[in-house]
Structures are given as structure tokens and as C-alpha cells.
Amino acid sequence: MKLSVIIPVYNEAVTLNDIRELLFDTLSSMKHAWEIIFVDDGSQDGSYQILKNFAEEHPKQITTIGLRRNFGQTAAIAAGIDHADGEIIILMDADLQNDPADIPLLLGKINEGYDVVSGWRSDRQDKFLTRILPSRIANRIISWVTGVYLHDYGCTLKAYRREVITGFRLYGEMHRFIPAYAAHIGAKITEVKIRHHSRKYGKTKYGLERMGKVILDLITVKFLISYSLKPLYLFGGIGAFFSFSGILILFYLMSRRMVIGISPFSSPLFPTSIMLVILGFQSILMGLIAELLARTYHEAQGKPTYTIREIVKDN
Ligand code: UDP
Ligand code: MG
């Protein structure tokens, strides 16, 4: 079993030496084969040169990927995954807030048979109001919406069995939703408490605006997880609801006309009902287009609509 540790780096020159040493200490004390993949995400502080030297000094253990510009943490992680060849993929931040010494803990759970082991910063060392509180709220919402209950989606330090994460592409800020995707294709998930240190060097690359992006990404993820195979169930459902309400109102107006003789056209309910019926049909038609897209998506990539754990067959 080989481990691939993937580390996205954006302007973290000061911590790189330490993180390499700590990783070497931990990884070489383990009985597995391993590699470290640093992905430089367009740093401007010389991080890339340092990482390049690492790869030259330790060609067997370290791979350095330099992106052409700053594409964001998720893209950097995706690049790392694309170039990793371990069966176990471990993601980690480069700022020393995660502790490489926790890797054996994650691996222990993988050995127990889990496919995804999520780090949980139970004693998180960040500002309460701007980091911990928003993150707690976000974790509650994400857990509730995806149905995958984790305490700490935002923690990068997580371990994955390769086959549960290579099946989909990562967009936007979506690396944090990998566990939800993995659960969707049937992965077994657990979490372990890990250490967390305050950021001693450099500064965080994010502010509160990330909250907005995460919420929007959550909507996408929920849609993809629940409806990417049958979008018509969503659009058709909404459409049917609209049309049905419109038709009900129309009936009401007609019967009022027949019983007490009020003209339906004088009521504001009339244009409302017509609008609802039209909206409803629109939504159903949109659902049909989405069905076409879903088929193109799966068929163009030769993606099956299921995932296999294993095949047992007697030849
Ligand atoms: N990072 C990156 N590209 C970016 C922003 C961040 O590769 O555009 C890396 C960064 O170097 C660090 C990790 O992603 O290794 C997490 O970033 P940060 O520590 O700033 O986030 P926080 O821990 O504050 O959520
Ligand atoms: Mg950090």
C-alpha cells in the first residue's frame, strides 16, 4: 500500500522546510511506501523554487508541480490527485496548522476498512468569531443538506482510498465536499480528532467571502448528488407543483363565476394562475433539457450510473 500526501502551496515559503522535515519523520517511521506531492499554486514568494529544490534533492520521495498562475486551493489539490499514484491519498495544508504526526491516526482508520477518514480539529486554534463560528454553522448546514454528518468539512487533513475520489472533477471551492461525493458513491466514512495549531507564519488566504462560495457550491453539490441522474425529478416536481396550483386557482375562479357570477378576469388571481401554469410548463421543459445533458455527461465520459465494489466470479 502506497501513500500519496498532497500539499497545495500558495505563498508559504517560510513553513516549507519544517513541513518537509516533519513529513519525512512521520512517513519514514511507517511501514508503507510513500510520496509527497507539492503543488505550487502560482506563489509569488519563491515557494516554487524551494519546492523545486526539494524535488531535486529527493527525486524518489518528492514531486513538485508548479501551476502557471494562482488557480485556487481546490484546483491545486485536483492537480495533485491527478499526478498521485498511491492507493491512499492524504490531503494536507502547507501552513503547519495541520500536524503531519496525525497521519498514522488517519491511516489506522483506513486499515479498519474505512474509505474516507476525515480530520476533525476538535480543539481548533483560530479566531472564534470569524473562523470557528462560521465554520460550525457551515458544517451543520452541509451535514444536514448532504446527509453526511461530519464535524469538520473545512479541515483539509483527510485520507481517502484512491478509488473513491478519482471519479469526479473538482470545481470552485469543492474539495471540502469530497466526503459527501464519496458517500454518494458508497464510501464508508469516519472521522478522527486531530491536533490543530495556530497559524504561526504567513497569513490565511481567505476571508468571510468564502462562506458565500461554499453555500453556492453546496447547492451544486446537493443537486449533483441527488438529481444528476434524474434532473427531471427535481424540475418536473417543481413544474408539476406550479402548474397544479395554477390550475387549482383557475378552477376556483371558474366556479366562483358559476356560483356567484363574479368574472374571473377582474381578479388578480387570474394572471397569477396563468403565470403559474406557464412557469410550471417551462420548468418541466427545462427538466427535459437537463435530462439530455445528463445523458451527454454520462455517455460522453463512458461513466456508468453505478459504482462497483468488487466482482466475484468463478471462471
Ligand atoms: N492555498 C492554495 N491556493 C490558494 C489559497 C490557499 O494552494 O489560492 C493553500 C495554502 O497555501 C494552504 C492551504 O491552501 O496550504 C489552506 O490555506 P489557508 O491556510 O490560507 O486556509 P485556512 O486554513 O485559513 O482555511
Ligand atoms: Mg490554514
| Contacts (Cβ under 8 Å, ≥6 apart) of 311 | none
Which tens digits make up the pLDDT trace of 129-159? 989 999 999 999 999 999 999 999 999 999 9
**Coil, helix or strand for 2?**
strand
* Cα 115 to the center of its chain, rounded Å: 16
H or E element in which residue 33 lies: strand 33-40
pLDDT reported for residue 71: 95
- The ligand whose atoms approach the alpha carbon of 134 most closely is 1
pLDDT reported for residue 218: 94
Rounded Cα distance between 250 and 272, Å, is 9
Q: What is the mean pLDDT of the chain?
A: 94
Contacts 24+ apart (CB under 8 A), 213-217: 213/172, 213/173, 214/138, 214/142, 214/173, 214/176, 215/138, 215/141, 216/172, 217/171, 217/172, 217/173, 217/174, 217/177
Mean pLDDT in residue range 100-106: 96
pLDDT band at 228 (very low <50, low <70, confident <90, very high): confident
Residues above pLDDT 90, as percent of the chain: 83
DSSP state letter for 160:
E
| Residue 187 Cα to ligand 1 middle (Å) | 26
pLDDT reported for residue 302: 83
Buried b (16+ CB within 10 A) or exposed e, 212-226: eebeebbeebbebbb
Atom of ligand 1 nearest to the CA of 92: 15
The closest of 73, 94, 157 to 120, measured between CA atoms, is: 157
pLDDT band at 272 (very low <50, low <70, confident <90, very high): very high
Q: Report the predicted TM-score, pTM, of the whole model to 2 decimal places.
A: 0.88
Q: List the residue whose alpha carbon is closest to atom 13 of ligand 1.
A: 93
Which tens digits make up the pLDDT trace of 48-92? 999 999 999 999 999 999 999 999 999 999 999 999 999 999 999
pLDDT reported for residue 49: 97
Rounded Cα distance between 116 and 176, Å, is 12
104, three cell numbers:
498514522
Q: List the residue whose alpha carbon is closest to atom 6 of ligand 1.
A: 73
116: pLDDT strictly greater than 80:
yes
| Residue 95 Cα to ligand 2 middle (Å) | 6
| Residue 298 Cα to ligand 2 middle (Å) | 36
pLDDT reported for residue 308: 83
**Ligand 1: residues whose CB is within 6 Å?**
8-10, 12, 41, 70, 72-73, 76, 93-95, 97, 204-206
| Residue 10 Cα to ligand 1 middle (Å) | 6
Atom of ligand 1 nearest to the CA of 210: 25
Q: Is residue 41 within 8 Å of 9, Cβ to Cβ?
A: yes
| Residue 130 Cα to ligand 2 middle (Å) | 13
259, three cell numbers:
356560483
Query: Which of 95, 98, 176 to probe ligand 1 with, by most ligand atoms within 8 A of CB?
Result: 95
Residue 277 φ then ψ, to 5°: -65, -45
315: pLDDT strictly greater than 80:
no
